Chains A and B, each alone.
Chain A
């Protein structure tokens, strides 16, 4: 039995002016290339949940030649983000047209199971844990149910956990690897379309399992840069310290996403730098408290915005760069937001910055609210869920103001001069870190 797992990757901005601008901005395209070059951890985990006697093949969509005959499989599993879901459906339809059963999974499929079911013999919702092993068992018995609901809790318990099959990546050179240490995030921001939508609560993977996965990834890629596929790694600070101490001896270079609270723990920050963390991505969303009101139910981000500058400084002084993320078009945003973000980025010394437009992904509270308020521009716009295309009517500016303001801000933040300024900022932070290290060594 041969199972093909196919990952969709690569997102294309649909708005022409933005697409044209994007390719000319160095700071803008780099991150896009990095994201597109990451293997699909979800499908590698599905492979890990497959019984060892089943032959599993991992493919990325760029390895599937649309003009060539389809690769021969007994069963095909496809995972996709919202923006590429129509391409995933087209591929699924092609395989099914040739009599090959197709299973669809991933966050979009979990949020819109009915739609996905029209293009699949079976769908997997939630995590693959608790679903995929049953599906394979059924398939070997000669049938498939229409839907398999995966676990939303206890996904890392020994009974359900599947170690990602990094060995399937051996035939392709990857210089970046992903490992997941947690699923979900307690802050539940209105727009979030990440793993919290397929979990019932924050899930933390035991440190020993994470370390084993990292070692498995190191066995197939030479000195890769690690990207943790988490939405908020350091919710549990005690776990965080244990994790950082466990990976320090491995000599890694790595990146993750977390929240601004990390800056409140000096010990954790020191361990972060010592463990080889090069960058933390933090969703700042907006530079001022007022526009963050109502974004998350606990007001976590609103209450901390006033301390963003000190927090960024504290993290970056360790030589760990902060990739500050901003979401444009929040309901409290007026056309003044673009200059406000530009000024904040300049004042903060952020070494990396990511600016996106608020995106109502289907299945999110934001989508439901905008639909209720009659503010969605189209009924179905999945290929425009790129984080750069505007799909709704903003509350306090016109669509044109949002689009043109975003283009202006992109040029301000990702042009040669701005990138050079951030490069200089990083060099200065590293020099500061080196000075601290020398002083600490001298006093030992």
Chain B
């Protein structure tokens, strides 16, 4: 799946929980800096992504995403066919 398409889905789901427009937000923007997006909301975003794509994240993955870009990386990695290399989530 194209990264741009994943990016659109991630932004749509984040925008359902944040209290501000995220369509133009920089990929490296911190999720915790978004209005209304606390740690529980980030988990709600991850639940939304699991439901949309039908994958199940690991305990570590549920704890790590801190930026929009990292969310997109996470989805891309989950959707990649086994063995295919994908970008690593930035630290």
Contact = CB atoms under 8 A, between A and B. Distances in A.
B47 A423 contact: no
Nearest to A438: B51
B21 interface: no
A417 to B, nearest CB: 8
B75 interface: no
A125 to B, nearest CB: 37
A308 interface: no
Contacts, number: 47
A319 to B, nearest CB: 8
Contact of A424 (B35, B44, B62): B62
A321 interface: yes
Nearest to B18: A223
Interface stretch (A3-11, A116-124, A265-273, A425-433): A425-433
Interface in B10-66: 19-20, 35-36, 38, 40-41, 43-44, 46-48, 50-51, 57, 59-60, 62-63
A253 B51 contact: no
20 contacts: A223-B20, A223-B36, A225-B38, A251-B19, A253-B36, A319-B44, A420-B59, A420-B62, A420-B63, A423-B43, A423-B59, A423-B62, A424-B62, A427-B47, A427-B62, A430-B43, A430-B44, A430-B48, A431-B47, A434-B51
B36 A426 contact: no
Interface residues of A, number: 21
Interface of A: 222-223, 225, 251, 253, 278-279, 319, 321, 417, 420-421, 423-424, 426-428, 430-431, 434-435
Contacts of A253: 36, 38, 41
Interface residues of B, number: 19
Contacts of A427: 43, 46-47, 50, 57, 62
Contacts of B36: 223, 253
Listed residue (B35, B44, B51, B62) with the most chain A CB atoms within 10 angstroms of its CB: B44
A105 B51 CA distance: 51
Interface in B61-91: 62-63
A424 B51 CA distance: 14
A426 B19 contact: no
Contact of B35 (A222, A420, A431, A434): A222
A31 to B, nearest CB: 12
A434 B47 contact: yes
A434 B48 contact: yes
Contacts of A279: 40
B13 to A, nearest CB: 11
